[in-house]
Structure 1
Amino acid sequence: MKQKLTYFFMVSYLWITFIMLGAFILEVFMVYPNIFHNVPESFEVSMDFMEAASPHTFFPPLGLASWITGAGALILVWKIKPARSWVLGSILVMILLGLISMLFEWPRNEIMFIEGQSVHSV
């Protein structure tokens, strides 16, 4: 039973980590270049586009899921030294990325995608 639970947490953690990586790459190379191209017109279009969902609706729950599944995976593989170091290292990276995101990206995303032109000038 423990082996199946460990497998579930490891696969879930890996799957969520790959989704996060793909989302970061998509955001950096596709979304942001389009948002910051030909400002202020692109800013208005991006506000309309991000009305239903934006980075603030996607990344926080997914980041929390990565922390939870990572913690579960770490607890379950603790006795396996090579796996422990890889899982612990990846969790530390995910936590660091989450903290950097909270400090630097969340306030800017709130300005760009939530408050917008009604509160801030372009």
Structure 2
Amino acid sequence: MMSFGGVAAETVMLYPNIFHDAPASLERARDFLTVSGPSDYFPPLGASVVLLGVATTVLTWRDRRLRWWVAAATMVFVAGEFLFSVVFFWPRNEIMFVDPVGTHSPQYLRQVAEEFVAGHRVRLVGGAVTAALAFTALLRWARTPSGARSTGTVVTAGRSDGSGG
């Protein structure tokens, strides 16, 4: 959920400034993001989310109510954030922000920037799906009575004294 918040904030605050007038806006972004930028924040956050997602999947696997919600959240995050970033975003980041200025034509940089923004919309949807799955798992866990959490049993509503009345 934190990762989705970060990506959503980046979408609203940074991307309009970075991509509104490529290639000039890309050069300004290079000048602005010299000390730190998204590449300093998101890789460590993503790695921690993957590790915690895998750990949470393992630790909740025995609870059938949570198992597939947590596993699905982890899988969607790994596919939608990590794998999609490696395959789609990293090469475009290289073109826009690492290659020396003047290496690529303005037309090509505009095309790459448009592709990046379109791909980012897909990533944003994946982040929303991940957050929804993780939040659903959290709600299901929170609605479990604390005694049932520690014993692994499921408590249902009704009378337990057998009086029937």
Question: Is TM more than 0.5 here?
Answer: yes
**How far does residue 104 in structure 1 lie from its aligned partner after superposition?**
0.5
Larger radius of gyration, structure 1 or 2? Answer: 2
Q: Are 2:43 and 1:56 aligned?
A: no
Q: Kindly tell me the number of residue pairs found equivalent between the two proteins.
A: 105
Q: Say which structure is richer in helix.
A: 1
**CA–CA distance in 2 between the matches of 1:52 and 1:61?**
16
Q: What TM-score does the superposition give when structure 1 sets the normalisation length?
A: 0.75
Task: Please state whether the residue corresponding to 2:101 is helix, strand or coil.
Answer: helix
**Quick check: 2:26–2:97 contact (8 Å CA) kept in 1?**
no
SS in 1 for 2:35: coil
**5+ residue gaps in structure 2?**
107-165
Gaps (5+ residues) in structure 1?
A: 1-17
Aligned residues with identical type, % of pairs:
38
- For the pair 1:112 / 2:118, whether they are aligned, the reply is no
Q: How many Å apart are 1:85 and its aligned residue? A: 1.1
More RCO (CA 8 Å, sep 6+): 1
Distance 1:112 1:53, change over 3 A: farther
Aligned counterpart, 2:30: 47
Q: Does 1:32 align with 2:15?
A: yes
Structure 1 residue matching 2:93: 3-state secondary structure = helix
One of 35, 48, 53 as aligned partner of 1:70: 53
The CA distance in 1 between the partners of 2:97 and 2:71, in whole Å, is 33
1:68-91 residue CA offsets vs partner (Å, 9 max, x unmatched): 111111111111011111100100
Distance verdict in 2 for CA 1:19–1:110, change over 3 Å: farther
The separation in 2 between residues aligned to 1:111 and 1:71, in whole angstroms, is: 32
**Correspondence 1:102 to 2:118:** no
* Code of the aligned partner of 1:57: D
Deviation at 1:63, TM superposition (A): 1.1
Cα distance in structure 2, aligned partners of 1:84 and 1:40:
46
Question: Is residue 18–residue 29 contact of structure 2 (8 Å, CA) maintained in 1?
Answer: yes
CA distance in 1, matches of 2:100, 2:65: 47
Q: Are the structure 2 counterparts of residues 57 and 24 from structure 1 closer, same or farther at C-alpha, using a change threshold of 3 Å?
A: same
What is the letter of the counterpart of residue 39 of structure 1?
A: A
Greater mean deviation of Cα atoms: 65-74 or 52-61: 52-61
SS of residue matched to 1:53: coil
Contact 1:55 1:109 in 2 (8 A): no
